[in-house]
Amino acid sequence: MKIKFVIILLCVLLVLTLTNLAQTDTKSAVVTGPEKGSLVIVGGGRMPQAIVKRFIELAGGVDAPIVVIPTALGAEKYDQRRANFLKRAGAKNVTVLHTYDKKEADTDKFIEPLKNAKGVWFGGGRQWRLVDAYAGTKTEKMFWEVLKRGGVIGGSSAGATIQGSYLARGDTKNNQIMMGDHEEGFGFLKNVAIDQHVLARNRQFDMFTILKKRRELLGIGIDEGTAMIVQNDKFEVLGRSYVLIYDNTFWSREGSSLKNLPDKNSLFYFLRNGDRYDLKNRRIIPRQRRQRN
């Protein structure tokens, strides 16, 4: 009898343990942005000048030192023309920095342009190339120093996804594998997975592949020509299209009481230019109504 009682007790404890683990797995993790500085996270495609100019403004203006990192694209070499999109918008002090050699990225000589930089821009391509080149090096540490100085980190397409803590589409084989052989981004936004080109490429349902296994994450999809401007734990949408939010809730300007919605694990919604979102609390920040005189 005693042995049977012990077996039953152990089974009960096992069930309770598994239940607690399941609850922990589904609990949302707290999303945090940088304590200082700003992020400009762009969904790819042609960028409106308003986004480029906002990036330069957040860096400190046209004279601010800015570093462009085109490594994600995969070419052997790059020249200063990779910074022309910033120069056309008035930036005067821009340097293109690139290597695929992690040892080189870990040298004081290589990081020299980053020591006083007030802005860093990551170009498009494949986000895993940025991880292979810079993760764990002095170069990556300098990215964080830019933010600590109150500067800005921006990027488009691959340069958007790399800013999240979970690296969506990080597989070296192709860009259709959502959970691949590279799963860690630079984490300027923690507990977030970021996808890009979402509506332009009909990717709006792909994020669920990640969220079914990593339920604690906040999923964010950004369409082309559109940016999230992140400061601390809040962001504002800037651009011509939409940012998609996957936070297990639904939001609409016209409400949702009469809508036929799927279960919460299949929900997402859209934010447009001027909309703001509280990342830490995972909720919309209502727009203030203009007071009429």
How far apart (Å, rounded) are the C-alpha atoms in residues 183 and 225? 25
Class of residue 54 by CB neighbours under 10 A (exposed 0-12, middle 13-18, buried 19+): buried
Superfamily name with CATH number, domain 29-285: Class I glutamine amidotransferase (GATase) domain (3.40.50.880)
pTM over 0.85: yes
First to last CA, the chain: 82
Pairing of strands 269-271, 234-239: unpaired
Q: What is the pLDDT of residues 132-158, one digit of tens each?
A: 999 999 999 999 999 999 999 999 999
Write down the mean pLDDT value for the chain: 92
Q: Which residues contact 244 (CB under 8 A, 6 or more apart)?
A: 198, 199, 204, 207, 219, 220, 221, 222, 223, 268, 269, 270, 271
Which portions of the chain are predicted below pLDDT 50?
5-6, 9-13, 15-25
Instruction: Note the pLDDT of residue 4.
Output: 56
Q: What is the per-residue pLDDT for 86?
A: 97
Count of beta carbons in the 10 Å neighbourhood of residue 150: 14
Do the beta carbons of residue 167 and residue 161 sit within 8 Å? yes
pLDDT in tens, 249-266: 999 999 888 899 999 899
